[in-house]
Structure 1
Amino acid sequence: MFDRIRRRFAVPALIGASLGLAGFSAAWAQSETQPLTPEPAASETDMPEIEPAEGGLTRDDVEGFLDGFVPYALSEGDIAGAVVTVVEDGEILLSKGYGYSDLETRAPVDPVRTLFRPGSISKLFTWTAVMQLVQSGDVSLDEDVNTYLDFEIPEHESGPITLRHVMTHTAGFEETAKWILLEDLEQFPDLETYLKENLPPRVFDSGTMPAYSNYATALAGYIVAQVSGVSFDDYLDANIFGPLGMTRSTFRQPIPDDLDAEMSKGYMTASDGEPREFELVTPAPAGSLSATGEDMGRFMIAHLQGGGALLDSATAEQMHTTADRKFPPLNAMMLGFYEQDRNGYSVIGHGGDTIAFHSDLSLFLDEGVGLYISMNSAGAEGASGKIRSALYEAFADRYFPDEDEQDAPTLDTAAEHGAMVAGLYESSRGSFHNFLTSLSLVGQLKVSMNEDNELIAPLITETSGAPTRWREVEPFVWQAVNGQDRLTAKMEDGEVVALTMEPVSPIMALLPVPWWKSSGLLMPLLVVALIALALTALLWPVRAIVRWRYRSPFPLEGRTAAAYRAVRAVSGLTLVYLGLWAFLIIFLMSDFTRLTDATHLPLRLLQFAMIIPLGGLVLSLWNAFQVWTGASSWFGKLWSVVLVVAFLIVIWFASAGNLFSFTLQF
């Protein structure tokens, strides 16, 4: 469920593979969570400019277009297989498999029989189920969700959470990573247990800030089960899969026996060839769907036909057009779908990722056309993210070109407004109360201006791999120089409150980083502090060896000698402390299936080990007192102060990164 947002962002935490975690951390993810900004695949950088199709959208033209795009893209991106489905006017125009669903047996992808994991596209099924209950009057979008739950979301000063907040990702929840993905069925908690034991804090007022949330979607699925009186899986079988004839689709985990033989294997890369275990998505309504390409076509057709067998036309229109537009004029969040408008056409859709599978679904509402792609590999350097966005853009440009393509002039205020926006930002989709906060300290997005008064952010790139450049075309609205995506800043009293950009504008914002949390300030200071501590710890035995070699007596005695030895010992221990934190975080984030209760013991040990840097500060102050009141050299006195400052910086970093937090929720 690492979302499509990860195609351009280096996500500090998953947190955006947001399953977003990757999303953002993915979503930096993405996590949703998690590969960052990949180098472009050759299939994208070498692609010729897309020309409009002379004969329009026909099966033969679409097949020729896809056959010229997909196989080369998969080969260059090191991806094992993919399925692509295109629907038009209530029919599946084309559904085609490419590559292999199983590299060992060389089984080809079959669009009718092979199941893929669409990740967070699963959410569209959950949202559709919610809207069915809205349509029947069993739930209200604006009622406190506690009305429908058998446990309570704690009160918040901003008021209750509603299903409207949940469906627009404005419930205000902090990102969660724990239990997000598993491979061991024995560890797998049911949905009720997961929700009740992993309730995240609310970090934003309800309805105010987009912050993509897998937990909130899982909560919606649980409400569907509570209100309907049947399990979530049974509800979907009876009310979505059944009416649409989606006989080869399921949210059930593990996958049922009758479908298991046709489930595509998932890979990191095709060249590696080592399949991953079936990924168990704990917040199942947020991302556990397994489905064939043709079944996904049936789902797209239903929504393009005013709800089809799922919703009445009024409810479908409400779902497709009710915009939560927090950052006009950028694409906004609808009720479950997000806008993907391109070339002046109204497009809604959703992306989705697990660790291995990466997918996109787009609906051209007024044209009755849908496009779906799912790939069974992350690909080399995360190529799947670039491929799916390039396919969407190429498809739209070929069949729905911009008939009135005119570049708006750059405003004269570009330099002034750009200077106001330049700075460091962190994602609203992130962790703010636990050790994963430390990821944001190294994943902050730097926005600056170039010599042409264009905004740039090194972590965000064009398809070619070059940094995206934005020029101001409306007051505080910038457009990509070589694209259609826009960036905007919300201003209050001349200060940036939040900033966002397409395509993530519906689900995530970027918040200005306060000075005390600025990686531009804190990270260089931390490097200097670590060098000082390392020199102190390493030169201690070196000097001892030199004295032993030349039979030179230790020049200190009493408390001065004790302080000297203590501060050097704690300097080494502090380096070990930070090293263990780094190792644990890298170990956990390299495979989300490790984010379970098994982390509790090492986490607790490191949380109690906070006494090391705190004790280091006390010992460094004692050492400084002994040095300054003794007969030390000027260099010794200066170095004693350096050590005090070094420990203060380490404590500053640990506090800002919540390494001192005692929570086991993350």
Structure 2
Amino acid sequence: MNPIKNYLKSIFAQQRVIGNDPTLKGLVKADTVLNNLINEKRVPGFSITVLKEGKTLLQKGYGYADLERKIPVDAAKTIFRIASVSKPIAATALACMVFDGSIDLDISFYEYVPYYPKKKWDFTIRQLASHTAGIRGYKGVEYGLNRPYTIKESIAIFKDDDLIFEPGRGYFYNSFDWVLVSLAMQEASGIPFEEYVRQKVLHPLELENTFAECHPNSTRGFGEAPRDEESTAFFSGQNRQDQTKFYSKNRLGFRTAIPVNNFYKLAGGGYLSTSADIAKLGQAYLDGTILPEDIRSQFLTSQTVKGKPIYYGLGWQVSADTKGRPYYGHVGSGVGGYSNFFVYPEERMVFAILVNCTDPKVQGELDDVVDALLTTTKLQTDRINS
């Protein structure tokens, strides 16, 4: 048989089984979909952790952390770039500052960063955290910068640009908003942003495999042990062996992603983590073990523009899926990493999926996995309650 026809036939056959076979449900369907992503070479590797009522429903690595050396992904240990899933981590730290009175969400950003160039309109921390401040997004190569900026130095990228709309009158998603939020947090706390996050979020929640990738002022090579004066919040040599390689994909297959330095946008997209750690963060919100409920609800409530919800809270996407099930969390897409983090409060479920590839175009399949597990657990609950 013609090899192209044979290939197409196999793909369509797999789609029929996955999409139409009523016997494939729940964990079996999820595992089938995920295995097919590897078998069809859609992604190099990924990790998934799913919690139900605080217990592990699924935790598994698929594919390779290192294609060349055939090192498999370990869901408990393999460390990925989590891209914009960094925002809920930063938002949790910001919520801690709101709780202790260090930051007021509704006063001018300039109260904390007076040296930032004045704009036509004033704007607040709340507007920055909800992407309603009018700050612009990436231009050209800014998406993949590889310069050793500190957070403070990096505002030179965009500080002289006009706001793109009057704050509070529009919504524009970008990561520069969270560069400014993290800068304000540094100024308000008097300590480096990454150290504050370590003290208030990573350490209390025991997120032991979540790190800032590297310090821009460090003279060490990437992955080398830090000097004594360098914060333990940074990715160090002892963790290097568990880090995935970062890939991109073209029509010829996978290749090593371009080198980038994400430190300056740590709050918006610069953290490294495991699916197990990210799921643990979601469970802390479900259990209410971090922050008082009134503070959490501020961050997990959709903000509004002109009286209409924008489906974004403060560092959290707040919405409902295609079947109307409410969730909060975030999707992340960056160089060498793609991530899904969803918390479903009604189902008491947490999903964390991390991929080691730039924009792998597999969101539809990941949605199918989430739906399969949500649907099955709901059916089981209905049977128990009937």
Counterpart position of 1:387: 365
**C-alpha distance in structure 2 between counterparts of 1:398 and 1:88, whole Å:** 12
Among 309, 334, 345, which residue is 2:325 paired with?
A: 345
Distance in 2, matches of 1:328 and 1:398, equals 36
1:48 pairs with 2:19: yes
1:362 aligns with 2:342: yes
Paired residue for 1:584? none
TM-superposed CA distance for 1:45, in Å, is 7.7
Contact 1:51 1:397 (8 Å CA) reproduced: no
What residue is the counterpart of 2:180 in the other structure? 219
The DSSP-based 3-state class of the residue aligned with 2:341 is strand
Query: Partner residue of 2:260?
Result: 279
> Who is 1:208 aligned against?
169
CA contact under 8 A between 1:77 and 1:384: conserved in structure 2?
A: no
Gaps of 5+ in 1: 1-40, 55-60, 402-666
| CA RMSD between the two structures | 2.8
- Which residue identity is paired with 2:136? E
Which residue is equivalent to 1:33? none
Separation in 2, partners of 1:168, 1:272: 37
**CA separation in 1, counterparts of 2:357 and 2:15?**
17
The residue that corresponds to 2:50 in the other structure is: 86
Q: Name which of 168, 174, 185 aligns with 2:136.
A: 174
Q: What's the TM-score, normalizing by structure 2?
A: 0.81
Q: Does the Cα contact within 8 Å between 1:162 and 1:171 map onto a contact in 2?
A: yes
Secondary structure in 2 aligned to 1:269? strand
Aligned with 2:204: secondary structure? helix
Q: Secondary structure of the residue that 1:366 maps to in structure 2?
A: coil
Give yes or no for contact 2:169–2:306 (8 Å, CA) kept in 1: no
Residue 247 to residue 326, structure 1, CA distance change in 2 (3 Å):
same
CA gap of 1:100–1:154, structure 2 versus 1, over 3 A, is same
Whether the 8 Å contact between 2:303 and 2:313 is mirrored in structure 1 is yes
Is residue 249 of structure 2 the alignment partner of residue 269 of structure 1?
A: yes
The 3 A distance-change label for structure 1 pair 141 and 385 is: same
The 2-side partners of 1:50 and 1:126 are apart by 42
**Preserved CA contact (<8 Å) 2:18 2:29:** no
The amino acid of 1:201's aligned partner reads D
Three-state SS of the structure 2 residue aligned to 1:374 is: strand
Q: Distance in 1 between matches of 2:193 and 2:95?
A: 14
Q: Report the equivalent of 1:144.
A: 108
Pair 1:395–1:279, CA change in 2 (3 A):
farther
- Amino acid in the other structure paired with 1:350: H
Which one has the largest radius of gyration?
1
Secondary structure, counterpart of 1:340 in structure 2: strand
In structure 1, how many angstroms separate the alpha carbons of the residues matched to 2:78 and 2:20? 32
Offset at residue 89 of structure 1 (A): 2.0
Aligned residues: 345
Q: TM-score, normalised by structure 1?
A: 0.48
Give the Cα separation in 1 of the matches to 2:192 and 2:247. 31
Letter aligned with residue 284 of structure 1: L
Query: What do residues 103-150 of structure 1 show as CA deviations (whole Å, max 9, x unaligned)?
Result: 111111001111011100101111111111111111111110111115
3-state SS of paired residue (1:268): strand
Answer with 266-275 or 219-228: which moved more.
266-275
Whole-angstrom CA distance in 2 between matches of 1:180 and 1:67 = 33
Q: Is the contact between residue 85 and residue 95 of structure 1 (CA under 8 Å) also seen in structure 2?
A: yes
Per-residue displacement from partner, 1:216-251 (whole Å, max 9, x unpaired)? Answer: 111111112111111111111111110111111102
Aligned ranges 1:474-485 → 2 under 5 Å: none
Q: Is the 8 A contact 1:350 1:360 kept in 2?
A: yes
* Equivalent residue runs for 1:242-391 within 5 Å: 242-253=203-214, 254=222, 255-269=235-249, 272-281=253-262, 282-306=264-288, 308=289, 310-320=290-300, 322-326=301-305, 332-342=311-321, 343-378=323-358, 382-391=360-369
User: Which among 78, 81, 85 is matched to residue 117 of structure 1?
Assistant: 81
Mark the CA change 1:400 to 1:338 in structure 2 (over 3 Å): closer, same or farther.
Answer: farther
- Alpha carbons of 1:340 and 1:251: their partners in 2 closer, same or farther (altered >3 Å)? same
**Alignment partner of 2:298: what SS?**
helix
CA contact (8 A) 1:81 1:98 kept: yes
Question: SS state of the match for residue 314, structure 1?
Answer: helix
Q: Structure 1 residues 346 and 50 mapped into 2: Cα distance closer, same or farther (>3 Å)? A: farther
Match of 1:614 in 2: none
> Aligned in 2, Cα 1:162/1:216: closer, same or farther, shift over 3 Å?
same
Letter paired with 1:318: Q
Q: Tell me, in whole angstroms, the C-alpha distance in 1 between the residues paired with 2:23 and 2:186.
A: 46
Q: Is the 8 A contact 1:182 1:188 kept in 2?
A: no
Deviation at 1:294, TM superposition (A): 1.1
Of 127, 152, 168, which aligns to 1:165?
127
Residues 338-392 of structure 1, C-alpha deviations (whole Å, 9 max, x = no match): 223133322112100112211111110122211111111247xx43333333433
Task: State the distance in 2 between where 1:398 and 1:49 align.
Answer: 16
Task: Using the aligned pairs only, state the percent identity.
Answer: 21
Conservation of the 8 A alpha-carbon contact between 1:102 and 1:108: yes
| Equivalent residues of 1:375, 1:384 under 8 A apart | no
Query: Does structure 1 retain, via aligned residues, the 8 Å contact 2:83–2:337?
Result: yes
Asked whether the equivalents of residues 53 and 398 of structure 1 are also in contact (C-alpha less than 8 Å), the reply is: no
Provide the C-alpha distance between the structure 1 equivalents of 2:367 and 2:307, rounded to a whole number of angstroms: 23
Please give the secondary structure, in 2, of the residue aligned with 1:304. helix
- 1:608 maps to what in 2? none
Question: Which residue number in structure 2 is paired with residue 192 of structure 1?
Answer: 152
- Name the CA shift for 1:393/1:94 in 2 (closer, same or farther; >3 Å): closer
Question: Is this contact kept in 2: 1:339–1:348, CA < 8 A?
Answer: yes
Q: 1:128 matched to which residue of 2?
A: 92
Taking the aligned partners of 1:70 and 1:389, their CA distance within structure 2 comes to 11
Distance, in Å, in 1 between the alignment partners of 2:306 and 2:362 is 28
Instruction: Verify the 8 A CA contact 1:84 1:374 in the aligned structure 2.
Output: yes
Q: CA deviation at 1:328?
A: 7.8
Give how far 1:173 is off: 1.6
| Helix, strand or coil at the partner of 2:195 | helix
- Cα pair 1:324 1:334 within 8 Å, conserved: yes
CA contact (8 A) 2:303 2:310 kept: no
Contact kept, 8 Å, 2:258 with 2:335, in 1: the verdict is: no
Report the AA paired with residue 386 of structure 1.
G
How far the C-alpha of 1:263 sits from its partner, in A, is 0.8
Q: Which amino acid aligns with 2:125?
A: L
Q: Which amino acid aligns with 2:73?
A: V
Uncovered stretches (5+) of structure 2, i.e. residues with no partner? 1-10, 215-221, 223-234, 380-386
Deviations 1:145-197 (A, max 9, x none): 111115224132xx4211111121100122233544234xxx32111111145
